[in-house]
DNA sequence: CGGCATTTATTTTTT
DNA sequence: ATAAATGCCG
């Protein structure tokens, strides 16, 4: 169907010829301003190159300059460079930066993009080699789950024991390692053989639907390269130079594909930082970058170690932490900058207090106190380990009216209303998109419930027609309730009408899209919805319609949208950024706050439980990423107790805190933190905690030891301990905690009852067994 | 079929 | 604590 020769001809024609003059051969001014390491990375063009680029060392600059250099020296045409990134954002940025040097030539770089988009491009050309048609649809995670659910249900298996999500994760895991179903069943599966079976069924089903999921995009391309040497060879010749960004994040499938492509000329340049590999949990293999020199003989390794971002103290702190990892290629970041503030460390009573303090702190930065220039809110970020930490900050900032922006969370195209709308468009464009049809057949509610849908499914299968045509038959012949039948008939009629409208030259696809959403009753559904977020959803739908304008037709839009799951709506107002550490990779801020450095939260307990030492090392890299985001001021904080899943947990400082070299740290004491409303004078405990003013001092060590011992005790048999000597353990003035009433101070002891004045207001008599010391676990 | 009650599981996230 | 997902009843 897609003859290679013809294709090559098209590609060649598309290449914008670069006349020597236009390219300015001989003019190498673009090399000015590179440091020696960057220059080496730019000028070492042939053979395998590993560019180890530490945080803030000008990686993107080196990478884009290298591309400019390749093109300017005239050794390659723009479309013969394969340049791969992980995100659309990175691809766009690179393209823009090349364009500032080369103008139009950058648009000739047709093979610069994300792994996924480039694989789609290749796969559309050779789809038949893996049993697909070139117009295959790309499933998102939602579709994937629904499909798997159907398979599990069809098997009459307990859906609880076999959650579709888990199976999806498993299949994803296999695809990340480029395992096809037969390779899985041949090996181990870990799920009594069922996983492999479902995997095979799932792949078969995808083939029938002429669809591929995200993992397939990579896997299929690797399969094609492996099974069709002739095809591989053409691409090996076509891509004369290969560049890979964020190499530490590649998974096995990506690695295999790259290695196959590079086998001939070996002109592959991988850029990355093993210390910033933080996506192991989704299939990234740090091993890929660690092994580079073994994979590619005679590789040139270039280290970018001069940091242009942070102060020496921040770099020192980060280096100290990351030094705790064993599996590293090793780099030593240095900076020409001098002085700067030490990394600041502070302890708080709980998460709310932490948020309160940071809010105040940010406001003082904003005003420019302590002799510093005022910082705009845009230059301040709070980076958390887990997104549930964000809530405390949002709450606090809302009450003090501090503008903030949360990065992350559900992306625009992942929102329910957007997916629903897209499903309508998908059915309108191609009637046999069964998954899309299933999604919207009863959205808004049309009275076409599960049972009716089953009947439609059955009729479609019996007549060997698409789901949509099956629905048409059901609507005509009946078999479901009259009400449902009418609704179904109306829906089908609607789609018939909309399809005609889409063909109509006089009607723009934007208009038709709007008509679809209105006539189907979808916008109506949200207008009638009285939930608080309905208005926002309607706004989103409007935005979606607006986005359509940039495309020729609906088809073009849908093709793009499946791969671009980003929403980068910009917002000019000055706001504090709140995001996860993962989301912050690649970004930088003058002022960075790193809250929640407590063992269990960060490093995450789960990470350590599931992946042991490897998990801990990844968490440590995350700490490294966090610290190195800061340009001037980095503040780390931890709390003494935190509410997790509604339960108060006492916390000990993260082990990473101890790993920061003391000479780079300044301990802050939080003013007013311990002066609770009741305790006019701080209790002995409070005083001791407050005075733990040097974490390398004996006081600090004592506090840690105490907390550790207490936690250990709690985890074993705290309950028994409390019951046994409950009364004896409380004295007048003790700061205590009750699960329902919160914190308070003991004002009286009578037998096994304690009189307590609670901070939340009021004195109460409570059984001692319901009380714990304030910085212990309470329940 | 739809609405309300109960249950259940809660890191990180791109394509 | 809380949200999402499931289960039960009208």
Q: Does the annotation count A59 as an active-site position? A: yes
Protein residue with the closest CA to the C1' atom of nucleotide C5: A160
Average pLDDT over residues A399-413: 85
Least confident of A78-82, A342-346, A433-437, A619-623: A433-437
DSSP annotation of A775:
T
CA of A180 to C1' of B14 (A): 22
| CB A670 within 8 Å of CB A639 | no
* Nucleotide showing the shortest C1' distance to residue A740 CA: C1
Highest mean pLDDT among A54-68, A464-478, A517-531: A54-68
* A59 annotated to bind ligand: yes
Q: What pLDDT sits at residue A237? A: 93
Name the active-site residue from A621, A629, A642, A655. A629
**Across A645-701, where does the E strand assignment appear?**
647-650, 665-668
Task: In chain A, count H helices and then E strands.
Answer: 32, 22
Protein residue with the closest CA to the C1' atom of nucleotide B8: A160
* Nucleotide showing the shortest C1' distance to residue A643 CA: C1
Q: Does the annotation count A366 as an active-site position? A: no
Q: What pLDDT sits at residue A158? A: 67
CA distance A597 to A612: 19
* Nucleotide showing the shortest C1' distance to residue A169 CA: B13
* Nucleotide showing the shortest C1' distance to residue A140 CA: B15
CA distance A674 to A682: 7
Top pLDDT among A214 and A731 is at A214
Place of tokens 């391309």: A221
The answer to whether some atom of strand C lies closer than 7 Å to the beta carbon of A532 is: no
| CB A706 within 8 Å of CB A713 | no
DSSP annotation of A356:
H
Top pLDDT among A116 and A433 is at A116
CA distance A619 to A613: 10
Q: What pLDDT sits at residue A515? A: 93
The two tokens of residue A406 are 């949360």
Q: What pLDDT sits at residue A294? A: 93
CA distance A14 to A104: 12
Average pLDDT over residues A640-644: 89
Residue A572 has pLDDT above 80, yes or no: no
pLDDT, averaged across chain A: 82
Average pLDDT over residues A606-630: 93
pLDDT single digits (tens) A356-384: 999 999 999 998 876 667 889 999 999 99
* Residues in Cβ contact with A355 at an 8 Å cutoff, skipping those fewer than 6 apart: A392, A393, A395, A396, A397, A595
Q: What pLDDT sits at residue A525? A: 84
Q: Does the annotation count A60 as an active-site position? A: yes
Which helix (H) or strand (E) is A289 found in, with range?
helix A286-290
In terms of C-beta density within 10 A (0-12 exposed, 13-18 middle, 19 or more buried), how is residue A154 classed?
A: exposed
* First and final C-alpha spacing in chain A: 67
Q: Does the annotation count A246 as an active-site position? A: yes
Name the active-site residue from A64, A85, A276, A335. A276
Q: Of A39, A41, A31, whose CA–CA distance to A302 is shortest?
A: A41
CA distance A283 to A250: 8
A370: left (phi over 0), alpha (psi -120 to 50) or beta: left
Q: What pLDDT sits at residue A145? A: 85
Q: What pLDDT sits at residue A2? A: 41
- pLDDT band for position A567 (cuts 50, 70, 90): low
pLDDT single digits (tens) A661-716: 999 999 887 554 433 322 333 333 333 344 344 444 433 443 445 444 444 433 33
* Residues in Cβ contact with A203 at an 8 Å cutoff, skipping those fewer than 6 apart: A180, A181
Q: What pLDDT sits at residue A28? A: 79
- pLDDT band for position A543 (cuts 50, 70, 90): confident
CA of A116 to C1' of B14 (A): 10
* A57 annotated to bind ligand: yes
- Detail the protein residues whose CB sits closer than 7 A to any atom belonging to strand B: A 86-89, 114-117, 141, 214, 281-282, 385-388, 408, 411, 414, 442, 445-453, 484, 563-566, 579-580, 582-583, 604, 606-607, 610, 645-646
pTM (2 decimals)? 0.81
Q: Of A542, A492, A544, whose CA–CA distance to A520 is shortest?
A: A492
Average pLDDT over residues A332-340: 90
The two tokens of residue A478 are 């009946």
Name the active-site residue from A143, A245, A420, A734. A245
* Nucleic strand C contact set for A 611-650 (CB, < 7 Å): 643, 645-646
Q: Cβ atoms within 10 A of the Cβ of A395, count? A: 14
Top pLDDT among A629 and A15 is at A629
Average pLDDT over residues A652-657: 92
CA of A466 to C1' of B13 (A): 34
Name the active-site residue from A28, A44, A60, A150. A60
Q: Does the annotation count A734 as an active-site position? A: no
- pLDDT band for position A106 (cuts 50, 70, 90): confident
The two tokens of residue A256 are 């295999």
* Nucleotide showing the shortest C1' distance to residue A579 CA: B12
Q: Does the annotation count A647 as an active-site position? A: no
Residue A430, φ and ψ in degrees, nearest 5: -135, 110
pLDDT single digits (tens) A210-219: 999 999 999 9
| CB A453 within 8 Å of CB A442 | yes
Residue A633 has pLDDT above 90, yes or no: yes
Dihedral angle at the C-alpha atoms of A361, A366, A368, A372, nearest 10 degrees? 80
Average pLDDT over residues A491-511: 91
* Residues in Cβ contact with A194 at an 8 Å cutoff, skipping those fewer than 6 apart: A157, A162
pLDDT single digits (tens) A33-61: 899 999 999 999 999 999 999 999 999 99
| CB A668 within 8 Å of CB A345 | yes
Q: Of A41, A97, A100, whose CA–CA distance to A64 is shortest?
A: A97
Q: What pLDDT sits at residue A184? A: 81
CA of A303 to C1' of B8 (A): 49
Nucleotides of C under 7 A from a protein CB: 1-2, 6-7
pLDDT single digits (tens) A578-597: 999 999 999 999 999 999 99
């Amino acid at each position: 169907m897609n003859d290679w020769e013809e294709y090559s001809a098209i590609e060649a024609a598309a290449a914008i010829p670069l006349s020597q003059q236009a390219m300015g051969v001989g003019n190498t001014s673009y090399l000015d301003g590179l440091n020696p390491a960057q220059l080496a990375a730019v000028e070492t063009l042939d053979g395998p190159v590993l560019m180890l680029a530490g945080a803030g060392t000008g990686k993107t600059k080196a990478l884009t300059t290298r591309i400019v250099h390749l093109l300017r020296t005239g050794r390659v045409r723009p479309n013969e460079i394969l340049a791969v990134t992980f995100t659309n954002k990175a691809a766009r940025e690179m393209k823009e930066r090349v364009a500032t040097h080369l103008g139009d030539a950058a648009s000739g770089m047709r093979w610069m993009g994300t792994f996924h988009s480039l694989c789609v491009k290749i796969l559309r050309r050779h789809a038949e080699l893996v049993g697909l048609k070139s117009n295959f649809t790309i499933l998102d995670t939602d579709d994937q789950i629904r499909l798997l659910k159907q398979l599990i249900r069809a098997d009459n298996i307990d859906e609880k024991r076999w959650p579709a999500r888990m199976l999806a994760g498993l299949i994803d895991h296999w695809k990340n390692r480029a395992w096809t179903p037969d390779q899985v069943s041949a090996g181990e599966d870990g799920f009594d053989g069922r996983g492999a079976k479902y995997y095979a069924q799932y792949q078969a089903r995808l083939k029938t639907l002429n669809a591929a999921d995200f993992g397939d995009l990579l896997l299929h391309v690797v399969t094609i390269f492996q099974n069709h040497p002739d095809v591989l060879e053409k691409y090996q010749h076509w891509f004369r130079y290969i560049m890979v960004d964020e190499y530490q994040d590649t998974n096995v499938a990506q690695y295999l594909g790259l290695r196959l492509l590079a086998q001939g000329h070996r002109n592959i340049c991988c850029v990355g930082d093993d210390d910033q590999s933080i996506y192991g949990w989704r299939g990234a293999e740090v091993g890929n970058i660690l092994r580079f020199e073994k994979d590619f003989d005679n590789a040139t390794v270039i280290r970018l170690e001069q940091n242009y971002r942070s102060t020496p103290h921040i770099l020192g702190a980060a280096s100290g932490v990351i030094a705790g990892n064993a599996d590293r290629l090793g780099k030593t970041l240095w900076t020409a900058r001098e002085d700067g503030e030490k990394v600041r460390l502070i302890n708080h009573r709980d998460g709310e207090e932490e948020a309160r303090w940071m809010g105040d702190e940010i406001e003082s930065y904003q005003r420019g106190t302590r002799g510093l220039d005022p910082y705009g809110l845009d230059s301040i970020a709070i980076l958390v380990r887990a997104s549930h930490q964000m809530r405390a900050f949002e709450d606090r900032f809302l009450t003090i009216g501090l503008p903030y922006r949360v990065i992350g969370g559900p992306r625009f195209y992942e929102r329910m209303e957007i997916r629903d709308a897209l499903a309508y468009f998908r059915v309108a464009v191609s009637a046999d998109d069964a998954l899309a049809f299933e999604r919207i057949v009863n959205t808004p509610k049309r009275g076409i419930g599960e049972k009716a849908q089953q009947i439609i499914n059955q009729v479609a299968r019996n007549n060997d027609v698409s789901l949509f045509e099956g629905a048409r038959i059901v609507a005509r012949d009946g078999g479901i309730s009259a009400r449902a039948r009418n609704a179904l008939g109306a829906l089908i009629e609607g789609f018939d009408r909309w399809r005609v409208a889409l063909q109509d030259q006089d009607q723009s696809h934007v208009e038709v899209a709007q008509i679809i959403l209105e006539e189907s009753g979808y916008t109506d559904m949200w207008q009638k919805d009285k939930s608080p977020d309905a208005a926002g959803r309607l706004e989103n739908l409007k935005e979606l319609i607006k986005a359509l304008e940039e495309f020729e037709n609906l088809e073009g839009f849908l093709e793009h949208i499946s791969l671009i799951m980003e929403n980068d709506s910009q917002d000019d107002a000055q706001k504090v950024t709140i995001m996860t550490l993962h989301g912050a990779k690649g970004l930088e801020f003058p002022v960075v706050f790193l809250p929640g450095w407590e063992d269990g939260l960060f490093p995450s307990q789960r990470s350590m439980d599931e992946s042991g030492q490897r998990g801990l090392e990844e968490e440590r890299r995350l700490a490294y990423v966090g610290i190195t985001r800061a340009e001037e001021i980095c503040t780390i904080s931890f709390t003494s107790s935190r509410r997790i899943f509604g339960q108060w947990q006492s916390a000990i400082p993260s082990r990473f805190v101890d790993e920061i070299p003391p000479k780079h740290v300044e301990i802050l004491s939080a003013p007013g933190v311990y002066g609770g409303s009741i305790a006019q004078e701080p209790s002995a405990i409070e005083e001791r905690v407050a005075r733990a003013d040097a974490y390398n001092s004996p006081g600090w060590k004592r506090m840690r030891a105490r907390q550790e011992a207490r936690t250990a005790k709690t985890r074993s048999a705290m309950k028994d301990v409390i019951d046994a000597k409950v009364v004896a353990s409380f004295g007048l003035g003790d700061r205590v905690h009750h699960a329902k009433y919160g914190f308070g101070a003991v004002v009286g002891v009578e037998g096994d009852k304690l009189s307590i004045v609670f901070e939340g207001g009021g004195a109460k008599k409570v059984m001692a067994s319901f009380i714990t010391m304030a910085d212990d676990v309470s329940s």
